[in-house]
Chains A and B, each alone.
Chain A
Amino acid sequence: MPAMFPASGVEELVRTGASCRVAVDVNPGFKSGDAVRAVNINPVTHTRLPLYVRGKRGVVVEDRGVFVFPDTNAQLKGEKPQHVYSVMFAAEELWGHGSGRKDKCYLDLWEDYMVPAKE
């Protein structure tokens, strides 16, 4: 229910914030070093999986813990808490054969956005 947030609460609100982390035990499906592929999903609803990374192969760098899943939360269909991983994608993987530079893009993917990469 929409409520009025009072002025007296502003300083504490600003200082403590509103974490999307969920304190629930979920078994991680991936770990650092795993080769993964971002799924090719194209929902008409909200997602935080950008077009440029879908279907691309990357490597898990870090498990960041368990967070609310935006794709379901935006539709009020539940928090569906799951692990978020920082995943490294090589520039050449994302954009095609180029100058051979070593550049990389790192994105934070919810587990639902990832599948193991087949060798």
Chain B
Amino acid sequence: MNGIHDLGGRHGMGPINIEPIEPVFHAEWERRIFGMFILAFAGGHFNIDQFRHGVEQMAPAEYLSSDYYEHWLHALELCCKANGSLTDDEIQSRMKELARGDA
């Protein structure tokens, strides 16, 4: 698809933000989503091309302004909903439980 991810040659994206010394992961949730993607892939939940296409379907403004691993979160959710492993309701409920300290 001719999505915003197809960036080669575009102008106006701004200066390259070079962090001189950068940690491998910037937050704990980045670590977890990294591991989850690899293991879901290795467990046959989706193939790599489905996953990449999942990232490509992010809304353009979100894609450009989000942290990198949010792309993976978006794709993982999309693929898990597509293969029936997760539903929106389940995710919302679990988030509420966790926020309340119930789960």
B48 touches A20 (CB 8 A): yes
Question: Is A74 touching B9 in the complex (CB atoms < 8 A)?
Answer: no
Instruction: Among A2, A42, A43, A95, point to the contact of B40 (Cβ < 8 A).
Output: A2
Name the A residues within 8 Å of B91 (CB-CB): none
Q: How many angstroms from the CA of A74 to the CA of B57 in the assembled complex?
A: 13
A42 pairs with B2, CB closer than 8 A: yes
Mark contacts of A1-34 with chain B using CB atoms, 8 A cut-off: 1 yes-contact digit, 0 otherwise: 1111100010001000010100000000000000
Size class of the contact patch on chain A: 20 to 34
Q: Give chain B's interface residue range (CB within 8 Å of chain A).
A: 20 to 34
Which of B8, B42, B53 sits near A52, CB closer than 8 Å? B8
| B-side contacts of A43, CB under 8 Å | 1
User: Interface residues, chain A, CB within 8 Å of chain B?
Assistant: 1-5, 9, 13, 18, 20, 42-47, 50-53, 68, 70, 73-74, 76, 94-95
